[in-house]
Structure formats: C-alpha cells, structure tokens
C-alpha cells in the first residue's frame, strides 16, 4: 500500500511518496496556483460543482479529490471553479493533459488504495470511473475512509440497463458513439456486458443505491435531476417527460448520478 498523504498537504507535491510523484512536479518553493486555461468538461462536472456549492461551506479552504480523474481536466476545472488548491485527482494511468500537468494537481494512484490519510477530505467525486476500478465496493470503502465525517461524495456511473449510451458525450465523435454502442450490444449478446469483463457496463439504479447506502448516509439519487439540468435549454427538453417516466427511466437514461454524505 502506498504511503498516505496527510492534509493539508499543499504544496502537496512536497509530501508525496517517491512512487506517487505529481505530474510535472515544480520546484518545492512554488506555492501559488498557476494560471492555466480552463478546459471544457462534461455537464456532470458542472452539476457536481453546483451541488457542492449548496452543501459546502465555501467560505473556508476545503480539500477534495476526484477518483479516477483520467486526463485531469475535471480537476483543473473544479480547482478554477472553487479556487481551491487543495483539490487533486488520482488515476492509475498517467495520461494527464498539459493543463493538469501545468496545474500540478494530479497523481498516479489506485482507487483501491487511496494515498491519503483517513478523515482528511471535505468532498470527493467520481465521474464515470467506478465501473473501471475492478472492485467498486473496495473503492467506495476507500472513498468513505478518506472523507471527513459529514463530507460529501458525488458519483456518476453508466446505467447498465440503458438501451443506448454516449449520445450526450461532449468530446466524442458521432463515429465513436456508434462504435461504442455497437461494442456494448455485442458484449450483451455474448453475455459479457459486465464491468469485470472490461465492458463499459456500469450499474443498475438499485445496485448503485445499495452500494452507497451500505456506506454513506443521506443518499440522494440525482438521475432525473441531472437530465433536467443538462437538457434544460435543449430542443430535447420537450421529450424529458416521456424519457423520465417511471416505467422507462431505467432504460432511457444512459447514466445514473447520486450524491451522499459520510455519516457523522
């Protein structure tokens, strides 16, 4: 297990274990947040930020984590939105964007062994990463461990019962969306549409709620809220009543979203 990082830890790179170096690590005296372009991010990141503003005391310095941050652009966006330098991302791969590397806000780490001390973070988020971690239960246990009592966790996952997915992916081409759906349908036909087989399956609504309720309190399913948020100004908003009908929402939505709180 990697060495745990205690918070507050900024400049956090000075406390890193040698095996968990910050991407683009600067000189140890650098204590300011560099000015970098704000990268575009998915609607769920905007949704998450809006909810956290309502639930957190944003007048004080807060610390946060993005689990499975991918290229790190979501971390950069959230740091710029909240003006928090105590916000980092962790991913098992180092495919970090130039913006994230310039921000020095991403580290290589495993969601199953988060390199942070227990009870140190004010919030965490996982944007479509829980389906990739290998063991979602252990990853969620780790998220709960590093959060302070009363801290919030926002999570978005693919809906494993969806009929079609990826249509709202802002950074994917039409061809990619078609290819990904074909891959999913083929995996279903072969009985291989499961996270453990490497498929981008995700979780059923009930499955996600059970995972969260076993570990957190005040679990709020946000799927309907998010869809209305995302498409509020879209020509599709007239179809929302049909798409969100209780009888079909488990099939019509490509993802599920939730927010929950670590019990006091």
Find the length of the chain: 264
CATH 3.40.109.10 fits 12-161+202-261, yes or no: no
The CA distance from 103 to 73, in Å, is: 10
Q: Where are the domains of the chain?
A: 12-161+202-261
* Strand ranges in 140-216 using DSSP code E only, listed in sequence order: 147-158
Q: What pLDDT was estimated at residue 112?
A: 96
Q: Give how far Cα 200 sits from Cα of 32, 61, 191, 223, Å.
A: 38, 36, 13, 18
Q: What pLDDT was estimated at residue 52?
A: 93
Give, for all 264 residues of the chain, the pLDDT tens digit. 444 544 444 333 333 333 344 444 433 333 445 566 788 999 999 999 999 999 998 778 889 999 999 999 999 999 988 877 789 999 999 999 999 998 889 999 999 999 999 999 999 999 999 999 999 999 999 999 999 999 999 999 999 999 999 988 888 899 999 999 999 999 999 999 999 988 999 999 999 999 999 999 999 999 999 998 988 877 766 788 888 888 899 999 999 999 999 998
Q: What pLDDT was estimated at residue 244?
A: 87
Q: What pLDDT was estimated at residue 34?
A: 58
Q: What pLDDT was estimated at residue 35?
A: 63
Q: What pLDDT was estimated at residue 103?
A: 87
| DSSP alpha helix (H) spans, the chain | 43-55, 73-82, 98-103, 136-146, 174-189, 205-213, 223-230, 240-243, 249-252
Pairing mode, if any, of strands 121-127 and 87-91?
A: unpaired
Q: What pLDDT was estimated at residue 33?
A: 55
Give Dmax over CA atoms of the chain in angstroms.
58
Structure tokens at 93: 């791969």
HSE-up of 174 (CA within 13 Å, CB side)? 0
CB atoms under 10 Å from CB of 1, counted, come to 8
């Amino acid at each position: 297990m990697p060495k745990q990082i205690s918070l507050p830890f900024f400049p956090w790179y000075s406390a890193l274990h040698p095996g968990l170096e910050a991407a683009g690590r600067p000189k140890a005296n650098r204590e300011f947040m560099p000015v970098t372009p704000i990268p575009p991010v998915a609607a769920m990141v905007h949704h998450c930020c809006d909810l956290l503003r309502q639930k957190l005391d944003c007048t004080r310095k807060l610390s946060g984590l993005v689990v499975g941050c991918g290229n790190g652009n979501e971390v950069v966006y959230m740091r710029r939105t909240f003006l928090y330098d105590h916000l980092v991302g962790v991913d098992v791969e180092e495919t970090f964007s130039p913006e994230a590397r310039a921000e020095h806000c991403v580290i290589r780490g495993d969601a199953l062994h988060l390199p942070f001390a227990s009870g140190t973070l004010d919030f965490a988020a996982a944007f479509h990463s829980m389906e990739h971690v290998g063991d979602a239960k252990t990853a969620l246990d780790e998220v709960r461990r590093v959060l302070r009592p009363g801290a919030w966790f926002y999570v978005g996952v693919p809906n494993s019962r969806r009929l079609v997915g990826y249509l709202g992916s802002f950074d994917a081409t039409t061809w990619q969306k078609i290819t990904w759906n074909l891959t999913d349908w083929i995996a279903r036909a072969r009985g291989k549409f499961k996270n453990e087989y490497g498929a981008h399956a995700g979780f059923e609504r009930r499955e996600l709620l059970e995972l969260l309720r076993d570990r957190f309190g005040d679990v709020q399913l946000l799927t309907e809220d998010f869809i209305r948020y995302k498409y509020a100004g879209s020509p599709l908003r007239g179809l929302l009543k049909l798409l969100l009908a209780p009888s079909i929402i488990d099939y019509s939505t490509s993802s599920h979203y939730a927010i929950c709180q670590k019990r006091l």
